[in-house]
Structure formats: C-alpha cells, structure tokens
Amino acid sequence: MGATRVPKAVAAAALCPVAPAVSDTVLPPGPVAACRVPPYWADACAHLSERDRVLCKLIPQTPHAGLQSHGDPFVTLVRSVIGQQISVLAAQAVWLRFAKLLPQFEPAALLRLRVDEMRAAGLSARKVEYLVDLALHFDSGQLRPEDWQHMDDEAIVKQLVAIRGIGRWTAEMFLIFHLLRPNVLPLDDVGLIRGISQSYFSGEPVSRSDAREVAAPWGPYCSVATWYIWRSLDPLPVAY
C-alpha cells in the first residue's frame, strides 16, 4: 500500500479515550433477550477502542448491543444460505416466509417439505438444493456440532465448505454468529469491504490487502470489529 493509501484512522490510543464497556447483560426486550452474547465483548470493545480511532467513535454509537447467537447450528446455517447474494432486507423477508413452513425447525422437517413450497417462499431452485443437502448432512449425522468446540476456525471452515452451497463466506458467518468465534475477518463480505471504504478511505475503492492492513490492529477481536463496521452501514443488528 502506497503512502496515498494510508487509512485516515489508524490505531492511536493517545488520540482517543477508551469507549465505555458494552454490557453483556443489557439486551433489547423481546426474543433477542434469549440469545447468547459473547463473554469477551466488553474486553474486545476496550481493546479496539484503544487501537483504532474509527472504532473508538463507532462503538459508543451502539452502546447496549452486541453479537448474538440463537444457539441453533442448523438454523444459523439455513439463514446464512438464504442470505447469500441478496440484501439483508430481502433475506429477512424470505426467511420469515420460509420459517412459517416449519413450525418445528429441524432437518427432518425441512426434508419433508415439497420443492414448490420452498420455491413459493422465495428460494431459488439452487438454494432449495443447498438447503436439502444441508439438512441431509445434519439428519444423517455427517455434521457433529458437539465436535466444533474442540476444533479451530480453519478446521470448521474446511468441514462446512464440503457441503453444497456453503462457501467460505457462509462458513465464516457461521463462525461469527453461531460459534461466536472472536477473531474472524470475513474479507469476502461485501458489507465489511464497503464499510472499510467509507470509514477509512472516504469511499474510495478498497482491495482485500487494504482491508487486511486496516484490520491488522483488530486482532484478536476481528469479529467484533467487523460487527461494528457493519453497524456503521446499518444500525440494525443482524442475527443468524
């Protein structure tokens, strides 16, 4: 990266006070209150605020929210597949219609759905194939969620991308939103790249190498930094 590409805000603790810690117990009312929030969240916010002036400003703008997991791996992966290559709003609309088809959201129940029912909910023929294959992997025991807590990030990514329709982006969303892994940097995520462009480069195009350099001070909390970059584009948190 040349001298003209240095981001406008790089880590500098002396220039930015530490942001208030984000509570991991204060959650909005409603269904979200049943979600898991990472125990490392407050430490991550302090770490990022000390090292990145942009995040120091962004973090206090969302003071009582954080990454949340609903704790169901099958639901998380289904939502990630549904969200591929469409906007957050479109994905939410399709998800709500699709979820109505499954009062009990389990792999075996999905396998009993007719193709025309799933297509009517807004799923493409290809995504229907992906969801059926995903359900088969869970229903047959090929995926063993109990093993994941003992596996590192890359080992889990390798296991998940072996399933049709699950690429690296979907696997990384799973690491972030279900397993709550703290240090995932999803460089294939359009929202992350756009947020870095707007917040660090005044809207100029950003390469993967630019994004990686901006994120260098974020470790070991790249997932948390990514969440706040997403919030800079859309204040409504996304949960899978």
Q: What is the pLDDT of residues 182-209, one digit of tens each?
A: 999 999 999 999 999 999 999 999 999 9
Residue 23 burial class via C-beta count within 10 angstroms: exposed 0-12, middle 13-18, buried 19 and up: middle
Q: Which residues are 36's β-sheet partners? A: 69
Q: Which residue in 176, 222, 207, 157 sits closest to 68, CA to CA? A: 176
> What are the pLDDT digits (tens) for 82-129?
988 888 889 999 999 999 999 889 999 999 999 999 999 999 999 999
pLDDT confidence of 24, banded at 50, 70, 90?
Answer: very low
Pairwise CA distance, residues 48 & 225, whole Å: 7
**The dihedral of CA 139, 154, 35, 68: what is its sign?**
negative
**What pLDDT, on a 0 to 100 scale, did the predictor assign at position 62?**
86
What domains can be seen in the chain, in order of their start residue?
9-67+186-233 (1.10.1670.40), 73-177 (1.10.340.30)
Contacts of 174 (CB under 8 A, 6+ apart): 73, 76, 77, 80, 156, 160, 240
pLDDT confidence of 1, banded at 50, 70, 90?
Answer: very low
Q: Which residues are 69's β-sheet partners? A: 36
